[in-house]
Amino acid sequence: MLEKKFVERKLRGASVKVQFYEQVDERLLKFAVIIARTNGKYVFCRHRDRETLEIPGGHRELGEEIFDTAQRELYEETGAVEFEMKPICVYSVISEEEFCGQETFGMLYYADVFEFENELHSEIEEIAVMDGLPEKWTYPAIQPKLIQEAGRRGYL
């Protein structure tokens, strides 16, 4: 663990801590989140059961490499079929409301998307391609900090 940065926010009354690392044991990585851009604009997605936007990403499947998780989730949640993806860093979240307060780890990626399918095939209702960041986030105590860290590291 070369670097560790702490960020705390309140989410529904519970403390949420987001931390960043250069690396952790690969087996600890449970999520992949992808900050995607196309033609210089951000790509966000909206789950069909929500009215808020989020960065594409999701859970790692059993036996799946974390990079494969990122590629799969980017495709499933945005329809991206042609893209270049790079790892940014490891992040972790500690929340009183999630995972019994245990620290959970994910890998943060950056992707330039060059082509999308015409139709989405998952639980995602729509994608939003935007110049800036959304006002209504699904994960307001976490995802803006991921974007901030990506910018700090020179990806945005």
133-143 tens-digit pLDDT: 999 999 999 99
Question: Tokens standing for 47?
Answer: 């789950």
DSSP strands (E only) in the chain: 5-11, 14-21, 29-38, 41-47, 57-59, 80-95, 104-116, 124-130
Is the pTM for the entire model greater than 0.85?
A: yes
14-57 tens-digit pLDDT: 588 999 999 999 999 999 999 999 999 999 999 999 999 999 99
What is the chain's Cα-based Rg?
15
Alpha-carbon span 61 to 41, nearest angstrom = 29
The CATH architecture that domain 5-152 belongs to is Alpha-Beta Complex (3.90)
Nearest of 140, 145, 83, 150 to residue 111 by alpha carbon: 83
State which amino acid sits at residue 124: I
Residue ranges of domains in the chain: 5-152
